Amino acid sequence: MKSETQDSEDGALSEEERLQLLTTAGKRNRLFILALAGVLGSLMLVSVGLNIHSVFSAGDGPRIQALEKKLLQLEQQLAVQQTALSNQEELLASQQASQLTGLFERAENPYTIAEVSKVLQAQERDYQQVMQGLKAGMRDLANMLPGSRSWLADYNEMIDRAELNSRQRREEIQAWSEKAQQPAPAAKPPGTSVDPG
């Protein structure tokens, strides 16, 4: 028996060695098959891609020419539409200008300005009276509460600023009303020149 194991060790490979060789050969064969499958799959995808490309690019010449003609027609239509649009805009602008001229003539009526001025001045006067009442009420409140009165000075400062702004608005409204009551200078007709005399 000893001689048979020695013979098997010397002449042939042991079962473990054969198993190991078969395992490595199997791994190598699997890798080879996977690589071959990857190469064949890539070739197939390239072939399909080239076929699809050739199918779609075969009829591009006439189609491109047709698209170029259509593009030229659309550009011409666009130019016509832009011309029509600019004409419409000019017409609309002239109509709006004539309408606005009529509105401004009505709005610049001195009697209208005088009435609006009276209303605005009355509102400013009422606003100033409300601010004075508010200021007096806060002064009374400050006298009722114990403690510091520093907040009252800040509050009075804000109210004084608001009253000053109101007085300025009232003066501007009065000036606007007086300016509207003055007669407008006579406009010279177009085409007349000043005498160099």
Structure token pair of residue 58: 């075969």
Say whether pLDDT at 189 is over 70. Answer: no
Say whether pLDDT at 129 is over 70. Answer: yes
Q: Tell me the three state secondary structure of residue 149.
A: coil
Q: Are 127 and 167 in contact (CB under 8 A)?
A: no
Distance CA 60, CA 63 (A): 5
pLDDT at residue 169, rounded to an integer? 92
pLDDT at residue 76, rounded to an integer? 92
pLDDT at residue 176, rounded to an integer? 85
Q: Identify the DSSP state of 184.
A: P
CB atoms within 10 A of CB 121: 16
Distance CA 174, CA 168 (A): 10
Distance CA 11, CA 5 (A): 10
Structure token pair of residue 143: 């006298």
Average pLDDT, the chain: 82
- Segment 107-127 mean pLDDT: 84
**In terms of Cα–Cα distance, which of 123, 125, 109, 129 is closest to 177?**
109
Query: Would you tell me the crossing angle of helices 150-181 and 110-144 to the nearest 10 degrees?
Result: 170
Q: Can you tell me which residue has the tokens 């047709």?
A: 66
Structure token pair of residue 135: 């200021």
Kindly report the length of the chain: 197
Distance CA 112, CA 103 (A): 12
pLDDT at residue 83, rounded to an integer? 92
Q: Can you tell me which residue has the tokens 């419409």?
A: 88
pLDDT at residue 5, rounded to an integer? 53
pLDDT band (50, 70, 90) for residue 123: very high
pLDDT digits (tens, 9 = 90+) for 7-48: 555 557 789 998 899 899 999 999 999 999 999 999 999 999
- Segment 71-84 mean pLDDT: 91
pLDDT at residue 150, rounded to an integer? 82
What is the value of pTM for the model shown?
0.39
pLDDT at residue 1, rounded to an integer? 46
- Segment 148-167 mean pLDDT: 89
